[in-house]
Amino acid sequence: MDGLTEMLKGTLEGCVLEIIGAEETYGYAVTRRLNELGFTDVVEGTVYTILLRLEKNALVQVTKRPSEQGPPRKFYALNDAGRAELTTFWAKWEFMTSRIDKLKEGAR
Q: How far apart are CA 90 and CA 15, in angstroms?
A: 10
Q: CA separation (Å) from 44 to 27, 30, 32, 41, 80?
A: 7, 9, 9, 10, 26
Angle, vertex CA 51, rays to CA 73 and CA 64, nearest 5: 25
In which region does residue 51 sit, left (phi positive, over 0), alpha (psi from -120 to 50) or beta (all else)? Answer: alpha
Q: Which does 83 bind (CB under 5 to 8 A by kind): DNA, its own copies, none?
A: none
Give the interface size with its own copies as a residue count (CB under 8 A): 31
Smallest separation (angstroms) from DNA to the CB of 79: 18
Burial of 70 (0-12, 13-18, 19+ CB in 10 A): exposed
- The answer to whether residue 63 forms part of the interface with its own copies (CB under 8 A) is no
Q: How far is the CB of 105 from DNA (least distance, A)?
A: 20
Interaction between residue 13 and DNA (CB under 7 A): yes
Single out the segment in contact with its own copies by CB under 8 A; choices: 10-18, 52-60, 61-69, 75-83. Answer: 10-18
Q: Is 40 in the site for its own copies (CB under 8 A)?
A: no
19 belongs to the binding site for DNA (CB under 7 A): no
**83 part of the interface to its own copies, by CB under 8 A:** no
Binding site for its own copies (CB under 8 A): 1, 3-11, 15, 18-19, 22, 37-39, 88, 90, 92-93, 95-97, 99-100, 102-104, 106-107
